[in-house]
Amino acid sequence: MTAIPRSLKGDEVETLLRICDRATTVGKRDYAVLCLLARLGLRAGEVAAMTLDDIDWLAGELTVRG
């Protein structure tokens, strides 16, 4: 490949999500990060800057800082 692909195809994203071992702590973390990137369209920097305080569990809302 001469260039970095701009995006993944839907089946590639599903494969990535499926291979996360959600029985482990690291796998759960990886799955959550990939979901934020793929399903919500967040940027890597936005996900990296996120803390637990950015999650309102009762309201089902995330605070995103960009």
DSSP one-letter string for 10-29:
HHHHHHHHHHS-TTSHHHHH
Note the pLDDT of residue 1: 60
Q: pLDDT, tens digit, for every residue of 9-62?
A: 999 999 999 999 999 999 999 999 999 999 999 999 999 999 999 999 999 999
